[in-house]
């Protein structure tokens, strides 16, 4: 939308600093084209669908109202909410904790190996890593079967009971996504000036105190950044429940999340407009939450 | 109203070239997109406008080229057999999940193809019998009895076999096999233990309780599949799925016809002689191998569950078949039905001659249906040949033909074929409760409201009596 003014501005500025600016535009252009083609145009298309009816007439908020009245809507909101609470807490606590532990590891080689291990699951593509979990959760084929039996679960359907799903999906998401964040946090920890840590140590601070008083406060922006992105990904929960649903022949995970409901509206109930309304809701929620986090944490303030 | 919307949306095909052009242009094109949306919307119904009306529908211009056929893994041999018998036709075989268990794959893909205006397969196999309920409003399937296939061929299908395919007198698909429910049993064990094959459900229940006491670990049935209601509830004439018109259904699952069967299942599950595993689960093969005394199930259980190396792999000379038990006092014998696939011919096909030839060949030719097919063919001449072959194989202790032929005509007609999947509803409503130890009787009200909700979401008028 704002592309025209940008090119205009570039034209007037070109005389002053021609070379770096032109190179910058070339570098950014690749991203901008993809962003427009696969980000902005589909979003605009989605918003258009959300506010029109099947006859392409303006429908106001009726799609949003009708989608919210559907019998699957409220349960889906509850499911996603519960899942987000479990997942975000686990992510913040464990990622920060594990990154701190990793940073404290004295031996270089151990540190390198552990870092690599953390990162591996994230290197698998989303759906493939969920497939791994389908096997993990089926006691007849799982390598963790003795553990599952110890908990009293002898069959796949006992493992995937409705009450377990939020925790299971959070576990899967953590396993597939947390490793990358641990590595990012580790990098951020390395950026904390050594003399600050040294000074603390001279003042008599122990490992725990250094983590609590220096490292975690200095990681704050990274944690906020992680929470914003994780929240956006989490509200769009889809692959985990969808694959569990296919694997369990529909016993668990069908219509579990809002994104699945949107998918069902589009392809089962043949109603793209309701589907788009839900997508737009998710977009708005993510934008609002991101805005709150950014302003409350003074994310863009220079140190 | 919903029906009208459905029909309009189904026919809409945005122009793909426009979309592509829009994507190629970068930032400045954003304004143009909004216009693009509008214009694609106004091209409603342009999908087949270039085609000519023939054989009762508007046909796309015909051309030569490979025939694209979608099948599930079980039907791959059918497509391969056709390709082998017709070396001049290039067949492009695509394997998909067969739309089984209410997965909805076919509808999802077809709606995407409807939006892009291309990509439809020419012929599709589906394991779901309810496809006509959405393919007809969406305009995906071609009517077959309006000139494409002669009535002499269609008349050879068993009585009622084409019912799931028929909408307003037009036939929109060909039935692959009949899947009426019968009682499979292990004749060797029954004889050894001195049991009589039950002919009524109370006898069956009593025997189930005896088996649980005298031979713990052995089972007389299975209630852990998505199609469990189609075996037991359908046979019991439970009014869970009485489709009364194209968008109306009567659902009353707390009636005596439903509760009697639900409490029978509860009794036997509690006793331990009714398994709650899926017959296709690895756990079932592992735990129940050699332990199945009786198993009410569709005609294809013989080939797919007992005489199957990926199933129970029961040795030759043990398995026999009987009519499914009846409730005392019911007017006429009734049984259920589990699937029995369909072949659909795309109305968008540009190779209609080959597509129709393929569909009639795989349903009617003995090369596939009599020799290779695992289930009871819906095409009557092929069915006789199939039964002869089954008798020749000597796998069963007795001739299974009379029982299957009789059961084929006894499928209760009060269970219809709606857009919503009864299998998916049962799976998500009843199965988790069973796992948690609840009784089916206690979950019937939840089942009632789940069917009602899903039917209404698909635009059905639901009444409860």
pLDDT band at B121 (very low <50, low <70, confident <90, very high): very high
Most distant CA pair in chain A: distance in Å? 74
Q: Which residues of A touch B104 (CB under 8 A)?
A: 267-268
pLDDT above 90: residue B269: yes
Look at B33 and A41 and tell me if their CB atoms are within 8 Å: yes
Q: Is the Cβ pair A54, B286 closer than 8 Å? A: no
Check residue A32 and give its pLDDT.
Answer: 94
Sheet holding B319-322, edge to edge: B294-298, B181-186, B319-322
For residue A32, give the nearest of B27, B29, B38 by CB distance. B27
Q: How many CB atoms lie within 10 A of CB A296?
A: 9
| Chain A: closest CA distance from residue B137 (Å) | 11
CB A136 within 8 A of CB A159: no
Please, which residues have CB within 8 angstroms of residue B420's CB and are 6 or more apart in sequence?
B451, B454, B455, B457, B458, B460
Report the candidate in B57, B43, B47, B109 with the shortest Cα–Cα distance to residue B347.
B57
With a threshold of 0.80, does the pTM exceed it? Answer: no
Rg (CA), chain A: 24
| Segment B171-197, tens digit of pLDDT | 999 999 999 999 999 999 999 999 999
Estimate to the nearest angstrom the gap between the alpha carbon of B386 and the chain centroid. 20
- Give the C-alpha separation, B257 to B238, whole Å: 5
Of B332, B456, B314, which is closest to residue B406 (Cα–Cα)?
B332
Query: Would the CB atoms of B102 and A250 count as touching at under 8 Å?
Result: yes
Residue in the structure block whose two tokens are 């039964």: B387
Burial of B330 (0-12, 13-18, 19+ CB in 10 A): middle
How far apart are the two ends of chain A, measured CA to CA in Å? 32
Q: What is the dihedral of CA B174, B179, B180, B183, to 10 degrees?
A: 170
Decide: residue B232, CB within 10 A, 0-12 exposed, 13-18 middle, 19+ buried: buried
Residue closest to B429 by CA, chosen among B247, B220, B229 = B229
Q: Which two tokens stand for residue B87?
A: 């070396």
Q: Do A249 and B435 touch (CB under 8 A)?
A: no
Determine whether the interchain pair B30/A54 forms a contact, defined as Cβ–Cβ distance below 8 Å. no
For chain B, the structural domain boundaries read 1-45, 52-178+339-389, 181-337+398-463
Query: Can you give the pLDDT at residue B25?
Result: 37
**pLDDT tens-digit readout, B1-28:** 333 333 333 333 333 343 333 333 333 3
How far is Cα A93 from Cα A81, in angstroms, rounded to an integer? 18
DSSP 8-state class, residue B97: -
| N-term to C-term CA, chain B | 23
For residue A303, what pLDDT band results from cuts at 50, 70 and 90? low
Residue with tokens 């009293």: A152
pLDDT of B326 reads: 96
Confidence of residue B37 (pLDDT cuts 50, 70, 90): very low
| A70-296 under CATH 3.30.720.200, yes or no | no
* Interface residue of A38, A149, A157 to substitute, partner B, most B CBs within 10 Å: A157
Most B CBs within 10 Å, among A163, A270, A276, to test the B interface: A270
pLDDT at B127 over 70: yes
SS3 B329: coil
- Yes or no, beta carbons of A36 and B30 under 8 Å apart: yes
Q: pLDDT for B211-246, tens place per residue?
A: 999 999 999 999 989 999 999 999 999 999 998 887
What tens digit of pLDDT does each residue of A257-286 get? Answer: 999 999 988 888 778 899 999 999 999 999
- How much is the pLDDT for A170? 92
Nearest-CA distance A122 → chain B (Å):
28
Predicted confidence at residue B272, as pLDDT, reads 94
Q: Count Cβ atoms below 10 Å from residue A244 Cβ, excluding itself.
A: 26
Please state which CATH class domain B181-337+398-463 belongs to.
alpha beta
Q: Which residues of A touch B283 (CB under 8 A)?
A: 139-140, 155-156
**Pairwise CB contact (< 8 Å): A3 & B138:** no
B34/A41 touch (CB, cutoff 8 Å), yes or no: no
The beta-carbon neighbor of A249 closest among B8, B41, B101 is: B101
Convert B290-318 into a string of H (helix), E (strand) and C (coil).
CCECEEEEECCHHHHHHCCCCCCCCCCCC
pLDDT for residue A302: 61
Q: What mean pLDDT is predicted for residues B197-201?
A: 95
Of B23, B28, B428, the CB nearest to A250: B428
Query: Domain segments of chain A: what residues?
Result: 3-50, 70-296
Hey, what are B259's tokens?
């509760």
Interval B371-404: pLDDT, tens: 888 889 999 999 999 998 888 888 999 889 899 9
- The answer to whether B25 touches B19, Cβ cutoff 8 Å, is no
- Helix, strand and coil in chain B, % to nearest 5: 45, 15, 40
Identical fold at B52-178+339-389 and B181-337+398-463? yes
CA atoms of B59 and B48, how far apart (whole Å):
7
Select the CATH number that applies to the domain covering B52-178+339-389 from these four: 3.40.50.880, 2.130.10.10, 3.40.190.10, 3.40.50.11290: 3.40.190.10
- The closest of B246, B241, B167, B166 to B459, measured between CA atoms, is B246
Is pLDDT of A3 > 90? Answer: no
Q: How far apart are CA B448 and CA B465, in angstroms?
A: 12
Residues of A in contact with B421 (CB under 8 A): 250
Mean pLDDT of B445-452: 95
Tokens 């009784």 locate to B439
Residue B23's pLDDT is what? 37
CB A91 within 8 A of CB A231: no
Helix-helix angle B352-364:B76-85, to 10 degrees: 110
């Amino acid at each position: 939308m704002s592309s025209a003014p940008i090119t205009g501005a570039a034209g007037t500025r070109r005389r002053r600093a021609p070379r770096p600016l032109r190179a910058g535009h070339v570098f950014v252009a690749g991203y901008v084209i993809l962003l427009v083609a696969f980000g902005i145009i589909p979003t605009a298309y989605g918003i258009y669908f959300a506010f029109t009816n099947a006859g392409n007439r303006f429908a106001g908020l009726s799609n949003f109202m009708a989608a919210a009245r559907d019998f699957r809507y409220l349960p889906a909101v509850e499911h996603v909410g519960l899942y987000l609470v479990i997942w975000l807490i686990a992510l913040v606590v464990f990622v920060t904790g594990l990154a701190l532990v990793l940073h404290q590891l004295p031996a270089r080689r151990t540190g390198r190996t552990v870092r690599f291990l953390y990162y591996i699951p994230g290197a698998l593509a989303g759906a493939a890593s969920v497939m791994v979990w389908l096997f993990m959760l089926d006691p007849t084929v799982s390598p963790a079967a003795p553990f599952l039996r110890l908990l009293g679960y002898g069959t796949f359907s006992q493992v995937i009971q409705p009450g377990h799903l939020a925790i299971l999906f959070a576990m899967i998401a953590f396993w597939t996504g947390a490793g990358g964040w641990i590595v990012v946090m580790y990098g951020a920890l390395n950026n904390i000036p050594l003399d600050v840590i040294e000074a603390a140590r001279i003042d008599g601070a122990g490992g725990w105190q250094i983590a609590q008083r220096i490292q975690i406060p200095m990681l704050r922006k990274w944690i906020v950044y992680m929470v914003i992105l994780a929240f956006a990904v989490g509200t769009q929960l889809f692959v985990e429940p969808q694959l569990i649903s296919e694997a369990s022949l529909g016993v668990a995970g069908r219509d579990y999340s809002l994104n699945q409901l949107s998918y069902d509206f589009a392809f089962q109930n043949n109603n793209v407009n309701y589907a788009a309304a839900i997508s737009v809701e998710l977009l708005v929620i993510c934008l609002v939450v991101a805005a709150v986090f950014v302003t409350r944490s003074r994310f863009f303030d220079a140190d | 109203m919903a029906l009208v919307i459905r029909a309009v949306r189904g026919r809409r095909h945005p122009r793909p070239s426009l979309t592509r052009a829009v994507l190629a242009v970068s930032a400045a094109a954003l304004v143009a997109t909004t216009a693009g949306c509008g214009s694609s919307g106004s091209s409603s119904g342009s999908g087949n406008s270039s085609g000519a009306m023939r054989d009762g529908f508007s046909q796309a211009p015909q051309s030569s080229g490979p025939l694209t056929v979608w099948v599930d893994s079980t039907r791959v041999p059918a497509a391969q057999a056709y390709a082998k018998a017709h070396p001049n036709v290039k067949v492009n075989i695509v394997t998909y999940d067969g739309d089984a268990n209410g997965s909805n794959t076919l509808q999802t893909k077809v709606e995407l193809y409807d939006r892009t205006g291309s990509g439809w397969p020419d012929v599709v196999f589906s394991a779901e019998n309810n496809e006509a309920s959405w393919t007809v409003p969406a305009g995906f399937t071609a009517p077959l009895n309006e000139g494409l296939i002669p009535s002499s061929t269609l008349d050879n299908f068993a009585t009622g076999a084409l019912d799931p395919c028929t909408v307003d007198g037009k036939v929109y698909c060909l039935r692959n096999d009949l899947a009426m429910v019968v009682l499979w049993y292990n004749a060797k064990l029954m004889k050894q233990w001195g049991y009589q094959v039950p002919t009524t459900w109370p006898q069956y229940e009593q025997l189930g309780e005896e088996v649980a006491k005298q031979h713990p670990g052995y089972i007389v049935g299975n209630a852990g599949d998505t199609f469990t209601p189609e075996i037991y509830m359908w046979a019991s004439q439970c009014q869970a799925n009485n489709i009364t018109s194209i968008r109306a259904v009567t659902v009353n699952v707390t009636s005596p016809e439903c509760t009697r069967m639900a409490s029978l299942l509860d009794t036997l599950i509690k006793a331990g002689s009714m398994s709650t595993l899926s017959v296709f689960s690895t756990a079932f093969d592992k735990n129940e191998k050699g332990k199945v005394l009786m198993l009410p199930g569709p005609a294809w259980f013989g080939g797919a569950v007992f005489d199957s190396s990926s199933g129970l792999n029961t040795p030759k000379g043990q398995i026999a078949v009987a009519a499914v038990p009846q409730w005392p006092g019911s007017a006429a014998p009734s049984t259920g039905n589990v699937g029995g696939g369909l072949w659909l011919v795309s109305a968008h096909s540009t190779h209609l001659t080959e597509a129709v030839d393929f569909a009639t060949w795989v349903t009617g030719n003995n090369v596939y249906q009599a020799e290779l097919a695992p289930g009871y063919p819906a095409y009557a001449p092929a069915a006789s040949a199939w039964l002869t072959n089954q008798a020749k194989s000597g796998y069963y202790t007795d001739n299974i033909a009379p029982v299957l032929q009789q059961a084929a005509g006894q499928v209760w007609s009060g269970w219809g074929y709606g857009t919503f999947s009864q299998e998916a509803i049962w799976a998500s409503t009843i199965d988790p409760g069973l796992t948690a130890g609840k009784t089916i009787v206690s979950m019937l009200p939840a089942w009632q409201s789940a069917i009602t909700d899903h039917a209404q979401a698909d635009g059905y008028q639901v009444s409860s009596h």
